[in-house]
Structure 1
Amino acid sequence: MTASTRVRVQRRPVHGVLLLDKPLGLSSNQALQKAKWLLRAEKAGHTGTLDPLASGILPLCFGAATKFSQLQLEADKTYETIVRLGVTTTTADAEGDVLQERAVTCSVGQVVEVLDAFMGPITQVPPMHSALKKDGKALYEYAREGVTVEREARNVVIHELELLDMQLQGDAPYLHLRVQCSKGTYIRTLGEDIGQALGCGGHLRMLRRVQTGHLHVEQAITLEALEAMDERQRIAALNATETLLSHHEPIELDAIEAGRFLSGVRRRGVWPDIPAAAVFGTAPRALLGVGHVHAGELIPDRLLSPIEIEQTLAQEYKLLNH
């Protein structure tokens, strides 16, 4: 088929959250574009990147949900990873060239001691092979040019560091870890630093994100599964936009109050102070946006547009009645 005869995909308004189990080998943006194409969606965005060599849960936001994608960027993450001990690489993962090979002589006791030392608040220097930007250019672009730039250490928190399995003998010694951490944690750097602390070095052989915030990879679907669905099933695979608002206190407003709230007007009520509220209209029940309550006033923070609300309700109605 030539470029002139290629069929143009007719985009449409799609609203909601797709919990994707991103495969190995695809960048987060490639996975997003594939899902966007399958859903024929007008507007889409993801909630923070996963390396091409990492698999696992990647929440994709469509339409109205893109307004709340930042919430997942801020959320804690949980990963499973395998650290290959005794070998360091240029990228701290299996893609890089080998820098050094060392014997693994540490004991089980030393492993436990080192893992304990990485629990809680730690500092990390971001790796050169990362998407972090310096002077408007991604660090990995400098790395590809053979240039190393100064990176500021950042503070992160390792909430849990569980040893799932290990092998300290043989041809390919490793640690299999589950890591629950704050946003901005580089697991490749953590694996490299653990290997360094054990005196043998190490790099990541596998990385899988199993949880982001309250969303778990067991809830996610693959691109292959999405591709095998018909159009209605693909829309049905979307989670509601409010899936991103699990830590928000729900508040419901009647039609008159909802209209005023959507106009950006503060509403008075008998609510206690609420730092984060998900605000819904009633009859029909629909997400209006988010806000907070202070001194009995509900103050709008981020609002959906009337057209987004109308389209979301129409999308739900179509699913229920077809």
Structure 2
Amino acid sequence: MARRGKKPKGRPINGWIILDKPKGMGSTEAVSKLKWLYFAQKAGHAGTLDPLASGMLPIAFGDATKTVPFVMDGRKVYRFTVRWGAETTTDDTEGPVVHSSETRPSEAEIEARLADYTGEIEQVPPSFSAIKIAGERAYDLAREGETVEIAARTVLVHRLDIVDCPDAATTVFEAECGKGTYVRAIARDLGRDLGCYGHVIDLRRVSVGAFGEDDLVPLDELEAAAEEGREELDAEALEAGAKARVVDFEPLDEYLVAPEVALAELYEVALSDEQAGRVLSGNAVLLRGRDAPAFCDEAYATGHGRLVALGAIEEGSFKPKRVFGGKG
């Protein structure tokens, strides 16, 4: 007799929560926290955010996890504050100072250097980073006292602007950049070029891919929504050590963003109910209408009021590559 697989624990929910991650919380910890709050079967995040950083950590549930690569490949916007006069081992406030200087750059001197840090640039990631070296995380090796050698890599910085100069030793920047860019490395290298050294004292991610600041949800707001949906226990149950469970998830689910929002930069194919049924079965469908493209490397199809599939358009037909079969 064939053994039946275990029934997945949790709710089969699909969608995104665009968490405003607080400082001090790791990305994995944040995913675990939200998976527990939502009692979700499956969860993941779109791009690690350092514990010392705050801001946008897109967390995907269910079918939305299939769209994570499209979010990770999208542009990111960081707002970060650099303190001039010292370079640290971690390029932020966590590590000890290794170089110092009494020199403080003027705003004009900083502005004159920014062009060197836009476009395609070569960058050596910080020693304390999630980069893997021979299967080990660089920050794990660095914390064990090993010398970490990380090769330079090409990254893309679309924009680097000065936002504020509150005092002679401090500059606030905003960077719009591609995947794999470390703004801590920008602060380190810019400080060296200016002859004054520098490190990041505050870092906040404000945008990832299709998600912007207006989508951010603070953790305490989600916790309040969970509390709103908890069962009420009587005194006897509390005395017996019972713990209240979330029984009404509607207040929490109102914060869910549809999985297809992550695919805003792709071409959308709107399917009829009949076409959606064919695509869900793995079949290609012919697209009608003069505005439909004949070829498109990446597209997504919607039908039945939800995301149906990821695929490509070839010779006027949408061909599914990944079908979204979960219930929204």
Q: TM-score range by the shorter chain?
A: 0.7 to 0.9
SS in 1 for 2:142: helix
In the alignment, structure 1 residue 253 sits paired with structure 2 residue 275: no
- Secondary structure of the residue aligned to 2:217 is coil
Gaps of 5+ in 1: 1-9, 313-322
Rounded to whole Å, the distance in 2 between the matches of 1:113 and 1:45 is: 40
The aligned runs of 1:30-69 (5 Å cut-off) are: 30-69=29-68
Aligned to 2:184: 188
Task: Determine the structure 1 residue equivalent to 2:199.
Answer: 203
Q: Distance in 2 between matches of 1:51 and 1:44?
A: 19
What amino acid is aligned across from residue 279 of structure 1 in structure 2? Answer: A
Q: What percent identity do the matched residue pairs reach?
A: 39
Residue in structure 1 matched with residue 81 of structure 2 by the alignment: 82
Match of 2:299 in 1: 277
Q: Distance in 2 between matches of 1:28 and 1:64?
A: 20
Question: How high is the TM-score relative to the length of structure 2?
Answer: 0.86
Mapped contact 1:16–1:64 kept (Cα < 8 A) = yes
Q: Deviations over 1:1-33 (max 9, x none)?
A: xxxxxxxxx722111100100000000111111
* Deviation for aligned residue 1:168: 5.6
Matches within 5 A, 1:299-310: 299-305=319-325, 308=326
Q: Is the 8 A contact 2:279 2:309 kept in 1?
A: no
| Amino acid in the other structure paired with 2:61 | F
Residue 259 of structure 1, CA deviation = 2.1
Q: Which amino acid aligns with 2:301?
A: V
How many Å separate the matches in 2 of 1:23 and 1:168? 26
Give per-residue Cα distances to partners, 1:172-193, cap 9 Å, x unaligned.
x011000011110011111111
Question: Post-superposition shift, 1:245?
Answer: 1.1
Distance in 2 (alpha carbons) for counterparts of 1:196 and 1:132 = 22
The letter of the residue matching 1:257 is: Q
**8 Å Cα contact 1:122-1:157 kept in structure 2:** yes
Measured after TM superposition, the shift of residue 167 of structure 1 is: 4.8
Question: How much does 1:92 deviate?
Answer: 0.5
Structure 2: 5+ residue stretches without partners: 1-8, 230-248
Secondary structure in structure 2 of the residue aligned to 1:215: coil
CA contact (8 A) 1:257 1:267 kept: yes
1:225 deviates by 0.6
Contact 1:209 1:217 in 2 (8 A): no
1:93-104 equivalences under 5 Å are 93-104=92-103
**What is the rounded CA distance, in whole Å, between the counterparts of 2:305 and 2:66 in structure 1?**
19
Q: Which segment is superposed worse, 133-142 or 266-275?
A: 266-275
Amino acid at match of 2:321: D
Where do 4+ consecutive residues of structure 1 move more than 3 Å? none
> Residue 177 in 1 paired to residue 173 in 2?
yes
TM-score normalised to structure 1 length: 0.88
Paired residues, what number?
Answer: 294
Deviations 1:46-101 (A, max 9, x none): 00100000100111000010111111110110000001000111100001111122
2:284 paired residue number: 266
Question: RMSD between aligned alpha carbons?
Answer: 1.4
Q: What amino acid sits opposite 1:240 in the alignment?
A: A
Question: Which letter does structure 1 place at the counterpart of 2:287?
Answer: G
The question of whether the paired residues in 1 share the 8 Å contact of 2:71 and 2:210 is answered with no
